[in-house]
Structure 1
Amino acid sequence: MEFYQYVFEAMRMIIVISAVTVQWFGVIASLKWIWKNWFIIVVIVTWNVIATLGWIWKHRFSYMVETPEPIAEGNQEPVDVDASTSSAPRWKHDVFLSFRGVDARKGIASEIYYRLQTRKGIKIFMDDPDLQVGNVISPTLLTAIKESRFAIIVLSPNYASSTWCLEELRYICECMKEDEDRILPLFYYVNPTDVRYQKSSFGDAFTKHENSGRYGLEEMRQWRAALNKVANFSGWDTKNYKTERALLDAVEETVCDKLRATELELKMSIGGFEVFEATKQAIDQVMNALKDNEATTIGVYGMGGVGKTTMVNYVGVQAQENRLFDKVILAVVSQNPDLMKIQQTFAEMLGFELKEKTEIVRARELKKKIMRGTRILIILDDIWKRIEFSDIGIPSHNDLQRCNSKVLLTTRKLDVCRSMDCHANIRLNILSEKDSRSLFVKEARKYPLDKSSNFYDVASEVARECAGLPIALIAVARALRGEGLDRWKEAARRLKASQPPVLEAEEDVFKCIKLSYDYLKSDVSKSCFLLCCLFPEDYDIPIEYLLNYGIGKGMFQDSDMLDARATTNSAVKALKDSSLLLDSRHDVCVRMHDVIRDMAILISLSEDGPRFLVKVGCELKNWPRIDARKGYSAISLMKNKICKLPEELGIQNIKLVGESKYQDGSCN
Structure 2
Amino acid sequence: MISIVILTPHYASSTWCLKELMKILECKEIKQQIVLPVFYHIDPSDVRHQINSFGKAFAEHEGGFKDEKKNLQRWKAGLTEVSNLSGFHLKKDGNESEFIDQIIQWVDKSIIPHTSLRVAKYPVGIESRVEDICSLLCLGMNDIRMVGIVGIGGIGKTTIARAIYNLIADEFDATCFLPNVRETSAGDRGLVKLQEMLLSKILGGSNLKVDTDDQGINLIKERLCRKKMKILLILDDVNQLEQLEKLVGEQDWFGSGSRIIITTRDRHLLTNHDVNFIYEVQRLNEEESLQLFSWIAFKGDHLPFVEYRELMEQIIHYAAGLPLALQVLGSELRDKSIREWNSALKYYKGSRHLDIQKVLRIAYDGLDQNEKNIFLDIACFFRGKKKNDVIKILDNCGFSADSGIRRLMEKCLITTTTHWSSDELILEMHDLLQEMGREVVREESPENPGGRSRLWFHEDVRMVLEENMGTNKIEALLVDLPRGDDVIQLNPKAFMKMKRLRLFINRNANFSGEIHYLPDELRVLEWPKYHLPYLPSNFHGKKLIHLRMTCSHILGVRMEHANLTVLDFSHCELLTKIPNLSGHPNLKELTFSHCTNLEEIHDSVGRLDKLVRLDLCHCSKLWNFPRSIKLESLRDLDLGGCSSLLNFPDIDGEMKNLAEISLYGSGIIELPSSIKNISGLRDLRLQECKNLTHLPGSILQLPHLESLSIVECPRFDGEKLMEDNRQFMASIVPDREYELTSLPPNSSISNDDCYKKAAVQSLEFLSPENLVLSESNCFTNSSTWQPTLSYLDLSGSGIVSLLTSIKRFVRLRGLYLNNCEQLQEILELPQNIEEVEARGCISLDSFPQVSKKFQFDTSGDSLDKLDWLDLWGCRKMLKKLRNPVLSPSLRTVCICPSCLCVFVWLCVLLKIYNIGSTAIGFTWPCICWTRDSNQLVQFP
Deviations 1:182-233 (A, max 9, x none): 7668x9xxx95599999xxxxx9xx99x989765234444666688788952
Distance 1:455 1:643 in 2: 58
Distance 2:124 2:475 in 1: 43
1:653 aligns with 2:500: yes
Deviation for aligned residue 1:438: 0.6
Q: Match of 1:544, as an amino acid?
A: N
Deviation for aligned residue 1:328: 4.5
Deviation for aligned residue 1:284: 1.3
2:791 maps to: none
Q: 2:128 aligned to 257, 266, 280, which one? A: 280
Are residues 256 and 596 of structure 1, via their aligned partners in 2, closer, same or farther at CA, if it must alter by over 3 Å?
farther
1:264 aligns with 2:114: yes
2:424 maps to: 588
Deviation for aligned residue 1:374: 5.8
Q: 1:433 aligned to 272, 286, 289, which one? A: 286
Distance 1:228 1:218 in 2: 15
1:341 maps to: 193
Q: What secondary structure sits across from 1:477 in the alignment? A: helix
Q: 1:510 aligned to 357, 360, 375, which one? A: 360
Are residues 611 and 256 of structure 1, via their aligned partners in 2, closer, same or farther at CA, if it must alter by over 3 Å?
farther
Distance 2:363 2:89 in 1: 48
1:314 maps to: 163
> Is the 2:148–2:278 contact (alpha carbons within 8 Å) kept by the matching residues of 1?
yes
Q: Match of 1:613, as an amino acid?
A: L
Q: 1:490 aligned to 332, 337, 340, which one? A: 340
Q: What secondary structure sits across from 2:236 in the alignment? A: strand
Deviation for aligned residue 1:513: 4.2
Distance 1:628 1:595 in 2: 28
> Is the 2:296–2:330 contact (alpha carbons within 8 Å) kept by the matching residues of 1?
yes
Deviations 1:155-177 (A, max 9, x none): 9xx99968786445435777999
Are residues 514 and 622 of structure 1, via their aligned partners in 2, closer, same or farther at CA, if it must alter by over 3 Å?
closer
Deviation for aligned residue 1:369: 3.5
Q: Match of 1:637, as an amino acid?
A: V
2:152 maps to: 303
1:533 maps to: 379
Deviation for aligned residue 1:452: 4.7
Q: What secondary structure sits across from 1:533 in the alignment? A: helix
Deviation for aligned residue 1:430: 1.8
Q: Match of 2:290, as an amino acid?
A: R
> Is the 2:332–2:363 contact (alpha carbons within 8 Å) kept by the matching residues of 1?
no
Distance 2:128 2:349 in 1: 33
Distance 2:461 2:500 in 1: 26
Q: TM-score, normalised by structure 1?
A: 0.55
Q: 1:615 aligned to 457, 477, 483, which one? A: 457
Deviation for aligned residue 1:554: 2.4
Are residues 362 and 295 of structure 1, via their aligned partners in 2, closer, same or farther at CA, if it must alter by over 3 Å?
closer
Distance 2:24 2:434 in 1: 51
Distance 2:487 2:164 in 1: 43
1:600 maps to: 437
The sequence identity of aligned pairs, in percent, is: 17
> Is the 1:287–1:315 contact (alpha carbons within 8 Å) kept by the matching residues of 2?
no
Q: Match of 2:176, as an amino acid?
A: I
Q: Match of 2:214, as an amino acid?
A: I
Distance 1:645 1:417 in 2: 40
Q: What secondary structure sits across from 1:274 in the alignment? A: coil
Q: Match of 2:473, as an amino acid?
A: G
> Is the 1:465–1:495 contact (alpha carbons within 8 Å) kept by the matching residues of 2?
no
Deviation for aligned residue 1:496: 4.7
Distance 1:528 1:368 in 2: 45
Q: TM-score, normalised by structure 2?
A: 0.41
Q: Match of 1:365, as an amino acid?
A: L
Distance 1:226 1:387 in 2: 40
1:544 maps to: 388
Q: 1:475 aligned to 305, 328, 335, which one? A: 328
Q: What secondary structure sits across from 2:435 in the alignment? A: helix
Q: 1:368 aligned to 217, 222, 234, which one? A: 222
1:357 maps to: 211
Distance 1:614 1:636 in 2: 5
2:841 maps to: none
The structure, 1 or 2, with the larger RCO (C-alpha pairs under 8 Å, 6+ apart) is: 1
Deviations 1:442-489 (A, max 9, x none): 1345323236544433433443333322122223334555x2x41x65
1:134 maps to: none
Deviation for aligned residue 1:97: 4.5
More helix by share: 1
1:447 aligns with 2:300: yes
Q: Match of 1:306, as an amino acid?
A: I
Deviation for aligned residue 1:308: 0.7
1:82 maps to: none
> Is the 2:361–2:436 contact (alpha carbons within 8 Å) kept by the matching residues of 1?
no
1:383 maps to: 238
Deviations 1:494-550 (A, max 9, x none): 3652699999644344235425xx357x93x5544333223476x3x1123213321
Deviation for aligned residue 1:655: 0.8
Q: Match of 1:554, as an amino acid?
A: G
Q: What secondary structure sits across from 1:449 in the alignment? A: coil
Q: 1:197-236 alignment to 2 at 5 Å? A: 216-221=71-76, 233=88
Structure 1 spans left out of the alignment, 5+ residues: 1-95, 99-151, 199-203, 242-246, 557-566, 664-668
Distance 2:236 2:330 in 1: 26
> Is the 2:463–2:469 contact (alpha carbons within 8 Å) kept by the matching residues of 1?
no
1:330 aligns with 2:180: no
* Root mean square deviation, CA, Å: 5.4
Are residues 591 and 227 of structure 1, via their aligned partners in 2, closer, same or farther at CA, if it must alter by over 3 Å?
same
Q: Match of 2:222, as an amino acid?
A: K
Are residues 286 and 620 of structure 1, via their aligned partners in 2, closer, same or farther at CA, if it must alter by over 3 Å?
farther
Structure 2 spans left out of the alignment, 5+ residues: 48-56, 446-450, 511-940
Q: Match of 1:349, as an amino acid?
A: K
2:924 maps to: none
Q: What secondary structure sits across from 2:216 in the alignment? A: helix
Deviation for aligned residue 1:627: 4.1
Aligned residues: 470
> Is the 1:472–1:512 contact (alpha carbons within 8 Å) kept by the matching residues of 2?
no
Q: What secondary structure sits across from 1:654 in the alignment? A: coil
